[in-house]
Amino acid sequence: MSRPEIQIRDLHKSFGDNHVLRGIDLEIGQGEVVCVIGPSGSGKSTLLRCVNLLEEPTKGQVLVGGTEVTDPDVDIDAVRRRIGMVFQHFNLFPHLTVTENLTLPQRRVLRRDKARAAQVAAENLRRVGLAEKANAYPSSLSGGQQQRVAIARALAMGPEVMLFDEPTSALDPELVGDVLAVMRMLAQEGMTMMVVTHEMTFAREVADRVVFMDGGVIVEDGTPEQVIANPRHERTRHFLSRLLDPAMADVEENNAG
């Protein structure tokens, strides 16, 4: 593996009595794409949010680019400037145009002047295939287009790492492909990416590694061939069978009932 860009050591997170993360150890190398899969409630999104301290770990360490995010004295704003995050929901400002959605964080956080921010916005809208939507408002865009704008907004900040939390789960199926195509492009460009997803085709084709989580622990960590095609653990096999054949999951539930 190349130089570690993300290092997670003995990470725990509890919400009251609910112990969501139970000692996670994970390293992601520079330029590596790691897809995190697992059932709802397994801790995937909590793990992702701990990387940029949107959730405060109960115990353990997180380092990004060699800087300890979990150090009480860390300049978290400086660290977050190096980490792009794309959520399930797009979080665009409805009263601002697409360009304004991209330039506002650049000007406020990076202190870029208006002309430079607009130039960077235009470059990144081209990257995601939405140059012609620069003056549109979010309400006029499809969900897939809004998510691509959200990716462009994150890229405009010049991140070294991109975190994706179920970026396609709120989209209609026919809109998923365009978003995944942009993520494929980023992977080909060498962006370090940590992706929580249920998109097994994307994980198979694009991920360098797949991490399967269940019950707040990492059950399997390996190549897509190892984890998706030839899982070692029964928990992984059961999850994938339900995900890849939902009809069989319904039959199981009906029989159990």
Q: Is residue 35 within 8 Å of residue 211, measured between CB atoms? A: yes
Domain-embedded: residue 134: no
Task: Work out how many domains the chain is built from and give that number.
Answer: 1
Q: Is the Cα dihedral 11, 190, 177, 124 positive or negative?
A: positive
Domain-embedded: residue 128: no
Q: How many CB atoms lie within 10 A of CB 23?
A: 14
Q: What is the CATH number of the domain that holds 65?
A: 3.40.50.300
Domain-embedded: residue 33: yes
> Global pTM?
0.91
Encode pLDDT of 118-153 as tens digits: 999 999 999 999 999 999 999 999 999 999 999 999
Domain-embedded: residue 192: no
Encode pLDDT of 42-54 as tens digits: 999 999 999 999 9
Q: Is residue 196 within 8 Å of residue 48, measured between CB atoms? A: yes
Mean pLDDT for the chain overall: 91
Quote the distance between the C-alpha of residue 188 and its chain's center. 16
Residue 65 pLDDT > 60, yes or no?
yes
Can you tell me the distance from the alpha carbon of 182 to that of 1, in angstroms, rounded to the nearest whole number? 24
CB neighbour list of residue 71: distance below 8 Å, 6 or more residues apart: none
Q: How many CB atoms lie within 10 A of CB 140?
A: 10
Encode pLDDT of 89-106 as tens digits: 888 999 999 999 999 999
Domain with 4 in it? 1-74+201-256
Domain-embedded: residue 80: no
Domain-embedded: residue 241: yes
Domain-embedded: residue 137: no
Residue 3: pLDDT band (50, 70, 90) is: confident
Can you tell me the distance from the alpha carbon of 249 to that of 11, in angstroms, rounded to the nearest whole number? 32
Both tokens of 29, joined, read 């190398």
Residue 9 pLDDT > 80, yes or no?
yes
In degrees rounded to 5, what are phi and psi of residue 48?
A: -60, -45
Domain-embedded: residue 132: no
